[in-house]
């Protein structure tokens, strides 16, 4: 049971405020929440906070705070899930979730909240059922153009740098343009993988973890059936092996409840009748053995002269992707010992950049082609770092406080597990006009890619 729900901008301005039970102190609560949040000591978690006999539970989404308050000892999982479902729903109806879209669509948001929650209890969150009751049309900032495809990104992928901007085609409200039928027939299917890797200082692989998702955003009329064909070699669990090659194996898979799996065993086909809006069709995880080589290898060498306090770090970065693929927005983050003062650098190509930032070295590479190799030589002065005297002066043992290096990057058109969508077929009977547009996209990005030095 929720007492209140509100949305705050990143600066703490209340955008939406709804009181479901009429038993609470009014809008001040939103302010109180923001004050508590900003005044929280570093080690405490802001996820649940408590004031008087009210619990605040919130999520951060696209720079907004979605907050629910409750006075009951409620299940945190339900509440967090509800809040993220609300975020998706608002995104579906307003086009995308953000300060601008929310404040332009206040009436629509309140209308949605009225339908989703009654007296603080969830009634329904299915886009399908809600469609029947929502009258207001979304206000969008600019007309959408399908030709604006130069920057086709993914609609929901939040990478570290958020450089994969939502493409304008996908960030369109599900309900808008009722009149314009030609725009409606679009389906976006994204395979997004997050990669977390830990490599030991001797180069051996300590941990590989891939979290994958197949996300679908459909603008087709609801109830239209679609079939998604996955790579045939795809197998789940350790025992099973298909085909002749190494196979594309994942450890665990879970499907959305609307997915029918009758053709999955035999042909790796997912059948579903998706509602309009966004939907996670399938989630999967893969740990420890990856079918393809890791995208990046780092070969560091460190020269550390204790006497003069000079630290020289030579980094060689090799990209092991297939030659036709490339990685984008690569950033290497290397924490340095305290007190580093100057940095001189020799980089292998002019488009790279390196700087000292917050006690760490930051090396930015806009793009790296598969199979290529890049290097950077960095020299730093570390005056204040004393070592135990009496040992050899120049040594290759790194000083404490250096490393581990972490990489962040995006790999468009590449999945680390090797999973691909073979086809996306629509059984499209009742609507005779133009063929629907189908967009299938693949992307991997780094969650944590850490290399110890």
Residue 60 in the binding site for other proteins (CB under 8 A): yes
Q: Please report, as residue ranges, which positions from 147 to 186 form the binding site for other proteins (by CB under 8 A).
A: 158, 160
Kindly tell me which of 21 and 297 has the beta carbon lying closer to other proteins: 21
**Interacting span for other proteins (CB under 8 A) from 72-80, 146-154, 226-234, 270-278:** 72-80
Residue 308 binding other proteins, by CB under 8 A: no
| CB of residue 196 to other proteins, shortest distance in Å | 7
Token match 């053995």: residue? 289
Q: Which is nearer to other proteins, 17 or 428 (CB)?
A: 17
450 near other proteins, judged by CB under 8 A? yes
Site for other proteins in 215-254 (CB under 8 A): 252, 254
Q: Which residues pair with 444 in a beta bridge?
A: 193, 411
Beta-bridge partners for 211? 194, 285
As measured in angstroms, the least distance from the Cβ of 177 to other proteins is 23
253 and 284 in contact (C-beta within 8 Å)?
Answer: yes
Subset of 37-56 contacting other proteins (CB under 8 A): 42-48, 50, 53, 55
**Cβ closest to other proteins, residue 140 vs residue 157:** 157
CA pair distance 100, 441, nearest whole angstrom: 27
User: Rounded distance, CA 108 to CA 16, Å?
Assistant: 11
The residue whose two tokens read 């420890």 is: 288
What is the closest distance, in whole angstroms, from the C-beta atom of residue 371 to other proteins in the complex? 27
Sole residue written with tokens 């290399």: 451
Instruction: Check residue 75 for interaction with other proteins (CB under 8 A).
Output: yes
Residue of 174, 379, 167 whose CA lies nearest to 275: 174
Verify binding: residue 76, other proteins, rule CB under 8 A.
Answer: yes
Task: Out of 172, 184, 215, 333, point to the residue binding other proteins (CB under 8 A).
Answer: 333
| 74: contact with other proteins by CB under 8 A | yes
As measured in angstroms, the least distance from the Cβ of 45 to other proteins is 4
CB 38 → other proteins: shortest distance, Å?
A: 14
- CA angle 292-414-326, nearest 5°? 100
**Dist. CA 405–CA 229, nearest whole Å:** 38
CB nearer to other proteins: pick between 360 and 426 = 360
- Binding residue for other proteins (CB under 8 A) from 37, 122, 139, 377? 122
Residue 320 binds other proteins, judged by CB under 8 A: no
Candidate segments 114-122, 267-275, 301-309, 318-326, binder of other proteins by CB under 8 A: 114-122
Determine if 256 is a binding residue for other proteins (CB under 8 A): yes
Quick check: 137 binds other proteins (CB under 8 A)?
Answer: no
Task: State the nearest-atom distance from the C-beta of 361 to other proteins, in Å.
Answer: 12
Does 426 sit near other proteins (CB under 8 A)? no
> Measured from the CB of residue 304, what is the shortest distance to other proteins in angstroms?
14
**Residue 97 found at the interface with other proteins (CB under 8 A):** no
Asked whether position 265 contacts other proteins by CB under 8 A, the answer is no
Q: Can residue 22 be called a binding residue for other proteins (CB under 8 A)?
A: yes
Of 268 and 445, which has the nearer Cβ to other proteins?
445
Nearest approach, Cβ of residue 51 and other proteins (Å): 10
Smallest distance from the beta carbon of 35 to other proteins, in angstroms?
18
User: Which of 100, 146, 151, 207: binder of other proteins (CB under 8 A)?
Assistant: 207
Among 39, 143, 350, 388, binds other proteins (CB under 8 A): 388
- Rule CB under 8 A: choose which of 14, 229, 335, 412 binds other proteins: 335
**57 vs 272, which CB is nearer to other proteins?**
57
273 binds other proteins (CB under 8 A): no
Question: 10 Å Cβ neighbour count for 100?
Answer: 13
């Amino acid at each position: 049971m929720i007492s209140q729900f509100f949305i705050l901008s990143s600066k703490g301005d209340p955008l939406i405020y709804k009181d479901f039970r009429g038993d609470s102190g009014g809008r001040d609560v939103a302010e109180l929440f923001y004050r508590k949040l900003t005044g929280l000591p570093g080690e405490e978690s802001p996820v649940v906070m408590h004031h008087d006999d009210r619990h605040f539970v919130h999520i951060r989404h696209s720079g907004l705070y979605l907050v629910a308050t409750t006075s009951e000892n409620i299940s945190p999982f339900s509440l967090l899930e509800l809040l993220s479902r609300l975020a998706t729903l608002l995104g579906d109806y307003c086009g995308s979730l953000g300060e601008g879209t929310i404040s332009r669509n206040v009436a629509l948001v309140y209308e949605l909240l009225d339908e989703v929650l009654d007296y603080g209890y969830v009634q329904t969150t299915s886009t399908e059922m809600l469609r029947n009751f929502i009258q207001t049309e979304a206000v969008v900032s600019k007309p959408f153009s399908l030709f604006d495809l130069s920057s086709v990104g993914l609609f929901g992928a939040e990478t570290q740098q958020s450089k994969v901007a939502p493409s304008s085609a996908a960030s369109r409200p599900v309900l808008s343009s009722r009149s314009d039928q030609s725009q409606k027939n679009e389906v976006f299917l994204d395979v997004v993988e997050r990669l977390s890797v830990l490599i030991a200082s001797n180069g051996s692989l300590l941990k590989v973890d891939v979290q994958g998702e197949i996300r679908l955003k459909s603008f087709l009329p609801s109830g239209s059936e679609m079939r998604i064909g996955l790579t045939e070699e795809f197998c789940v669990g350790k025992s099973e092996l298909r085909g002749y090659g190494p196979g594309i194996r994942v450890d665990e898979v879970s499907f959305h409840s609307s997915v029918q799996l009758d053709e999955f065993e035999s042909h790796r086909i997912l059948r579903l009748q998706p509602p309009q809006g966004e939907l996670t069709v399938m989630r999967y995880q893969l740990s420890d053995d990856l079918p393809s080589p890791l995208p990046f290898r780092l070969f560091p060498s460190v020269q550390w002269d204790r006497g003069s306090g000079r630290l020289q770090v030579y980094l060689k970065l090799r990209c092991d992707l297939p030659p036709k693929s490339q990685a984008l927005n690569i950033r290497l983050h290397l924490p340095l010992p305290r007190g580093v003062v100057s940095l001189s650098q020799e980089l292998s190509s002019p488009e790279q950049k390196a700087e000292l930032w917050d006690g760490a070295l930051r090396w930015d590479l806009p793009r790296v082609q598969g199979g290529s190799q890049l290097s950077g030589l960095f020299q730093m002065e570390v005056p204040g770092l004393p070592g135990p005297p009496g040992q050899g002066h120049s040594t290759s043992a790194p000083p404490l406080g250096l490393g581990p290096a972490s990489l962040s990057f995006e790999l468009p058109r590449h999945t680390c597990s090797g999973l691909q969508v073979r086809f996306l077929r629509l059984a499209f009977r009742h609507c005779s006009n133009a063929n629907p547009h189908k967009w299938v996209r693949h992307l991997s990005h780094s969650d944590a890619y850490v290399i110890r030095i």
